[in-house]
A = this chain, B = another copy of it.
Amino acid sequence: MEKNTATQILDVAQEMVRNRGYSAFSYADISKQVGIRKASIHYHFPSKDELVKELVKRYREGMMRACDRIAQSNASLDQQMFQFADLYRNGLKDKQICLCAMLAADYAVLPQAVQEEIQTFFQETEAWLTNLLQQGCDTQQWTCQPEQEAKGLIAMLQGAQLLARSTTDSNTTFEQVVYPLLAAKFPSS
Contacts and interface: CB of A to CB of B under 8 A. Distances in A.
Contact of A159 (B107, B118, B155, B165): B155
B154 A158 contact: no
Contact of A106 (B24, B107, B160): B24
A162 B163 contact: no
Contacts of A180: 145, 148, 152
B21 A109 contact: yes
Interface string A92-124: 000101000110111111000001001100100
Contacts of A108: 19-20, 95, 165
A118 B119 CA distance: 28
A180 B20 CA distance: 34
* A: interface residue count bin: 35 or more
A129 interface: no
Contact of A24 (B23, B145, B173): B23
Interface in A132-189: 145, 148, 151-152, 154-160, 162-163, 165-167, 173, 176-178, 180-181
A105 B19 contact: no
Given A159-B159, A166-B118, A166-B122, A97 B106 contact: no
Nearest to A101: B162
Interface string A35-54: 00000000000000000000
Given A21-B24, A107-B165, A154-B159, 13 more contacts: A20-B108, A21-B21, A95-B108, A107-B166, A148-B177, A151-B173, A151-B177, A152-B156, A152-B160, A155-B160, A157-B159, A159-B159, A159-B160
Listed from nearest, the 6 A-B pairs whose CB atoms lie closest are: A159-B159, A155-B159, A23-B24, A23-B23, A105-B105, A158-B159
5 contacts: A21-B109, A102-B105, A107-B165, A155-B163, A155-B177
